Amino acid sequence: MASDSSPANFNGPTSPDDSYSSPIGNTFSSPGDARRRSRRRSSTPSAFATPPPNQSRFATSDANPALTPTPSSRRGGRRGGRRATSTTPVNAAATPTSTDDAPASSEGGEGYDADDARPTFVWGTNISVEDVNEAIYRFLKHFRDSSTASQSEDGLLREGKYEIAIKRVIEIEGESLDVNARDVFDYDPDLYTKMVRYPLEVLAIFDIVLMNMVGRINPLFEKHIQTRIFNLKSSTSMRNLNPSDVERMVSLKGMIIRSSSIIPEIREAIFRCLVCGYYSDPVVINRGQITEPKICLKEECQARDSMTLVHNRCRFTDKQIVRLQETPDEIPEGGTPHTVSLLMHDKLVDTGKPGDRVEVTGIYRAMTVRVGPAQRTVKSLFKTYIDCLHIKKTDKSRMLAEDPMDVDNPTGRNVEDISFDEEKVEQLKELSKLPDIYDRLTRSLAPNIWELDDVKKGLLCQLFGGNALKLASGASFRGDINILLVGDPGTSKSQLLQYIHKLSPRGIYTSGRGSSAVGLTAYVAKDPETGETVLESGALVLSDRGICCIDEFDKMSDNARSMLHEVMEQQTVSIAKAGIIASLNARTSVLACANPSGSRYNPRLSVIDNIHLPPTLLSRFDLIYLLLDKADEQTDRRLAKHIVALHFENPESLEQDVLDLSLLTAYVSYARKHIHPQLSDEAAEELTQGYVELRRRGNFPGSSKKVITATPRQIESLIRLSEALARIRFSEWVEKSDVMEAFRLLEVAMQQSATDHSTGTIDMDLITTGVSASERMRRENVLSAIRSIIMEKMQLGGPSMRLLELLEELKKQSPGPEVHLHDLRNAVSTLASEGFVSLHGDTVKRV
């Protein structure tokens, strides 16, 4: 589109204010820019023969003759940008529909032959102006969303999408019409291609057609409406912009890093003679410069060098230069981010501020660099920038910032949905249908950390989360699952934390050692300059609706920990400091890890004594995992193998069949957003029963304070866990199996199956965490085999049996895999803990 700098304008002769007919109306003008390449040629034979080098886009003559615009056209073009006044002869000639041109059109058609029947082409291309004109008109007039069009046969009677939009714009006296490029593509792929390839020309026609339509709907509407194209079919990476993209329409994503102050750009200047007080006609900028009249134009005066600029009567537009930088995810390894300058005009000014992630649609332009200020010679270099047509803010950094589990969405945050395109959704749904999706996700979670399958399952539940519930009475139930990992050093707790932190939205990672109470919650600070008190959010507030990972939880001061009470149950942080009383939302899941009280787990002490955290806080964790480092040769061997492989083999071979991080993230966020499972009756029944059982076990005689007893909190936890489990399957209903798995997770977490309830200590041999599923299966088989043997062979209170005898028996019955005495002993002691048998030394007795 004729640029800015081009001396001639768009509608050439008619309206001087069209000189900057570029949609963006950029005015910097280097001489080189003045030579517009894309010229539209009228069909005037002479012009055809030798295109004048300095063509304006529509007019054939590069003269700029009539500098006396009609008032109306000038008014129409009051504001910035593209001024496609309706006067273009081209369209007068071409489209019969545009006959109702604005009145100003008449003069200046000089170069044009309005009656010329031959088509007008965009210079250097085979694009016919008439065709494009026609196509755009058809599009604006007739485009309907596919859904609505197919819906009714009387589609013709209904107004097109953009007709409605245009009317709305007129109603609100808007200045621009947003046109979805995909709509254009759907309606007329050819037009789309032309638009992307020759945006300057096609957009100019677009504006003209649009103004014609506006004129027809409301002839009195004088404001100029610009077309803003957005949502191109393909977006380019900043890195891949290359010379072939110049002068094309591109769409880019990036982050705004700087924006200049608003620059008033002169469009039209009016001069006054100091001698006689004569006001000149508006002088239009020409190649970025305004020429001051040398002599007073008033015939009687003609004083020399007397003209002075009258600022008040000049016309300015807003301009802003914004720098866009690549987002971190687009930067290849070992590269630095690329940047590109954006030029914003009028309404677009200040739409984005530094730090915003935006998607920009615009025209990629190159501008020559002058050698010297006054020299005409240009260097062989170009500066590039993007004339911005449309800017759209995209979602904030991490996925899933918005969480639908929040019922009342009180924050006025910009709820820009993370859109999942259909393909992706299909892929995710396919995944969710896999029978082993639960295991597969578990495997995909921190694949570099072995074993700990159950811990990973718990963490998976935490990522998916349960449903938050708010009752009409005002009581609310959180959906966040809190997890505490307590374990021996070297059990990769921290790695797990780091991993979750990376994966989760708004994850905050903090160490209990370093963070004071204020660091974790919120902090009132005095602004050093103004002395104002300001509220600084701490980790918990920052991770609102995310996961707050707290390392070294045990090292945290009691004071800080006590703050967590409120956060973990009420999900708010209250601050009363320096006269500020505030309650901030902190709907966060807490993932904490701690070492046992004696830095290593002491099997002679009870679980509670080992964890050594106040029970009030403990009960707020849904899952408490004891990661105990048990001397297990198998595990050690696997570790050794893995590390040896790490050092000596191609790391690629270590890859397993897992979901990659981005897919996992997408899966989690999709589930959190779209799946809201409900308890089925069956599941509810199971829950009730299980809970009663749990209570009963907690009240084991003699256990008193030594074990963690079930409280109503546990049942909430169970509901949350089962909901999360249903979410993992993308299921809207919580099934019985989910509830059972939730119970299992809860049990495993506390090593309850291994806990001797009478003393509260853990039998180290019974620890099941860190045991792979197959191993567990094997143990269970052994267990059930023994159970049946005992049922069969032994009577209640009858004679006892020796372990070796049992082993013999077992081998007889199940000839399959080898069973060791060691396994047998484990199984028997499990039975003993159930109260099914009693074990004294080597003798088993049924009780």
Partner 1 sequence: MVGLAYDLLANPQGAVRSTFEKAVASSGLDFDPASLDGEDWGALDLFRHFLSDQTHLSQVPILNGETVKWVRPNTLVRFRGMIQDMLGNEFYVGAFKDGDVWRTNKFMDVSHFPMPMASTSSPHMRVWERRLLYCVPVPGRNSWTEPSSELVVNRCVDCSSHQREKRRRMDDEPVDHMDMLVSDEGFQGSPSTKKMKEDGQPSMSSQTTEPINEGICSHMSMVPSIDSDSLPCLVKIYDSPESDLKLNDVFEFIGVLTFDSEVSMDKDDQDELSNGFSEDVLVHLPPNKVPRLHCLIHRKLTVPDFLHSSPTMEPKPHVVKEIREALLRHLTAVLGDDSVAAHFMLLHLLSRVHTRVENIAVGKLSLNLTGFSKESVSLFGHRLSLAVKDLLPVTHCIPLTVEYLNSASLAPIKDYETNRLITGVLQLAEGSHLIVDETQLKAGTLNSVGVDNTRLLKNLMELQKVEYDFKYYKMEMAADVQLLIISEGKSNILPADIVIPFQPTSVDSSEVRAAEALEAWRWYLATVKSLPHSIESEMQKVVENDLVEARQSDRNIGSQDFNRWLTMGRLMSVSFGENCLSLEHWQMVKELERLRRERLK
Q: Write out the binding residues for partner 1, residues 484-523 only, by CB under 8 A.
A: 488-490, 492, 495, 498
Is 39 or 224 the residue whose CB approaches partner 1 more closely? 39
Q: How far apart are CA 369 and CA 589, in angstroms?
A: 55
Is 125 or 308 the residue whose CB approaches partner 1 more closely? 125
Question: Of 14, 19, 27, 95, which lies in the binding site for partner 1, with binding defined by CB under 8 A?
Answer: 27
Is 257 or 740 the residue whose CB approaches partner 1 more closely? 257
Q: Please, which residues bridge with residue 802 across strands? A: 843
Would you call 73 helix, strand, or coil by DSSP?
helix
Is 356 or 454 the residue whose CB approaches partner 1 more closely? 356
DSSP 509-563: EEETTT--HHHHSEEEEE-TTT--EEEEE-HHHHTTTSEEEEESGGGS-HHHHHH
Say how many CA atoms lie within 13 Å of 571 toward its Cβ.
20
**Shortest Cβ 445–partner 1 spacing (Å):** 13
Is 182 or 379 the residue whose CB approaches partner 1 more closely? 379
Instruction: Give all strands (DSSP E) within 93-167, no chain letters.
Output: 121-122
Q: How far apart are CA 729 and CA 727, in angstroms?
A: 5
**Shortest Cβ 240–partner 1 spacing (Å):** 10
Q: How far apart are CA 179 and CA 192, in angstroms?
A: 12
Closest C-alpha to 91, from 179, 184, 11, 187: 11
Q: How far apart are CA 830 and CA 766, in angstroms?
A: 8
Task: Tell me how many residues contact partner 1 (CB under 8 A).
Answer: 81
Closest C-alpha to 296, from 312, 282, 307: 307
Question: Of 117, 631, 796, 847, which lies in the binding site for partner 1, with binding defined by CB under 8 A?
Answer: 631
- In sign, the C-alpha dihedral spanning 201, 202, 206, 209 is positive
DSSP 194-221: HHHHSHHHHHHHHHHHHHHHHHHH-TT-
Q: How far apart are CA 53 and CA 30, in angstroms?
A: 16
Q: How far apart are CA 847 and CA 837, in angstroms?
A: 5
Query: Residue 840 — φ and ψ, nearest 5°?
Result: -125, 110
Is 651 or 799 the residue whose CB approaches partner 1 more closely? 651
The pairing of beta strand 589-594 with beta strand 547-551: parallel
Would you call 486 helix, strand, or coil by DSSP?
strand
Is 120 or 320 the residue whose CB approaches partner 1 more closely? 320
Other Cβ atoms less than 10 A from the Cβ of 599: the count is: 10
Q: How far apart are CA 793 and CA 813, in angstroms?
A: 12
Q: How far apart are CA 104 and CA 484, in angstroms?
A: 76
Among the residue ranges 57-65, 308-316, 338-346, 564-572, the one whose residues contact partner 1 (CB under 8 A): 338-346
Would you call 101 helix, strand, or coil by DSSP?
coil
DSSP annotation of 398 reads S
Question: Of 135, 266, 273, 367, which lies in the binding site for partner 1, with binding defined by CB under 8 A?
Answer: 367
**Shortest Cβ 593–partner 1 spacing (Å):** 16
Is 13 or 519 the residue whose CB approaches partner 1 more closely? 519
**Shortest Cβ 439–partner 1 spacing (Å):** 21
Which amino acid is it at 385?
Y
Among the residue ranges 127-135, 482-490, 684-692, 757-765, the one whose residues contact partner 1 (CB under 8 A): 482-490
Is 560 or 789 the residue whose CB approaches partner 1 more closely? 560
**Shortest Cβ 356–partner 1 spacing (Å):** 9
**Shortest Cβ 752–partner 1 spacing (Å):** 24
Phi/psi-derived region of residue 474, left when phi > 0, alpha when psi is between -120 and 50, beta in every other case: left
Pull the structure tokens for residue 723.
């909901």
- For the chain, the first-to-last Cα distance in angstroms comes to 94
Query: Residue 701 — φ and ψ, nearest 5°?
Result: -60, 135
**Shortest Cβ 632–partner 1 spacing (Å):** 9
**Shortest Cβ 265–partner 1 spacing (Å):** 8
Is 303 or 331 the residue whose CB approaches partner 1 more closely? 331
DSSP annotation of 128 reads B
**Shortest Cβ 257–partner 1 spacing (Å):** 5
Phi/psi-derived region of residue 704, left when phi > 0, alpha when psi is between -120 and 50, beta in every other case: left
Residue 764 binding partner 1, by CB under 8 A: no
Is 46 or 289 the residue whose CB approaches partner 1 more closely? 289
Among the residue ranges 104-112, 636-644, 731-739, 787-795, the one whose residues contact partner 1 (CB under 8 A): 636-644
Is 215 or 447 the residue whose CB approaches partner 1 more closely? 447
Per the CB < 8 A criterion, the answer to whether 286 and 48 are in contact is: no
Enumerate residues 230-289 that contact partner 1 by CB under 8 A. 239, 241-243, 246-247, 255, 257-258, 260-261, 263, 288
Question: Of 155, 355, 598, 615, which lies in the binding site for partner 1, with binding defined by CB under 8 A?
Answer: 355
Question: Of 51, 337, 404, 698, which lies in the binding site for partner 1, with binding defined by CB under 8 A?
Answer: 337
Per the CB < 8 A criterion, the answer to whether 249 and 229 are in contact is: yes
Enumerate residues 411-450 that contact partner 1 by CB under 8 A. 448
Is 34 or 483 the residue whose CB approaches partner 1 more closely? 34
Enumerate residues 695-724 that contact partner 1 by CB under 8 A. none
Site map (CB under 8 A) of partner 1, residues 639-678, x = contact: xxx-xx-xxx--x--x------------------------
DSSP annotation of 300 reads T
Among the residue ranges 32-40, 177-185, 567-575, 681-689, the one whose residues contact partner 1 (CB under 8 A): 32-40
Pull the structure tokens for residue 579.
């006269």
**Shortest Cβ 336–partner 1 spacing (Å):** 4
Say how many CA atoms lie within 13 Å of 675 toward its Cβ.
27
**Shortest Cβ 30–partner 1 spacing (Å):** 7
Question: Of 274, 276, 369, 580, which lies in the binding site for partner 1, with binding defined by CB under 8 A?
Answer: 369
**Shortest Cβ 54–partner 1 spacing (Å):** 10
Enumerate residues 312-331 that contact partner 1 by CB under 8 A. 320-321, 323, 325, 328, 331
Is 323 or 695 the residue whose CB approaches partner 1 more closely? 323
Among the residue ranges 36-44, 89-97, 470-478, 578-586, the one whose residues contact partner 1 (CB under 8 A): 36-44
Is 397 or 781 the residue whose CB approaches partner 1 more closely? 397
Among the residue ranges 560-568, 625-633, 670-678, 688-696, the one whose residues contact partner 1 (CB under 8 A): 625-633
Per the CB < 8 A criterion, the answer to whether 370 and 637 are in contact is: no
Among the residue ranges 369-377, 434-442, 664-672, 733-741, the one whose residues contact partner 1 (CB under 8 A): 369-377
**SS in 3 state form for 736-747?**
HHHHHHHHHHHH
Among the residue ranges 30-38, 271-279, 676-684, 697-705, the one whose residues contact partner 1 (CB under 8 A): 30-38
DSSP annotation of 13 reads T
Q: How far apart are CA 7 and CA 10, in angstroms?
A: 10
Is 183 or 265 the residue whose CB approaches partner 1 more closely? 265
Other Cβ atoms less than 10 A from the Cβ of 66: the count is: 15
For tokens 């009420």, the residue is: 570
Would you call 111 helix, strand, or coil by DSSP?
helix
Enumerate residues 370-409 that contact partner 1 by CB under 8 A. 370-373, 378-385, 397
| Strand (E) or helix (H) holding 164 | helix 161-171
Is 266 or 607 the residue whose CB approaches partner 1 more closely? 266
**Shortest Cβ 382–partner 1 spacing (Å):** 4
Is 110 or 245 the residue whose CB approaches partner 1 more closely? 245
Enumerate residues 76-135 that contact partner 1 by CB under 8 A. 124
Question: Of 153, 333, 527, 818, which lies in the binding site for partner 1, with binding defined by CB under 8 A?
Answer: 333
Question: Of 216, 513, 565, 637, which lies in the binding site for partner 1, with binding defined by CB under 8 A?
Answer: 637
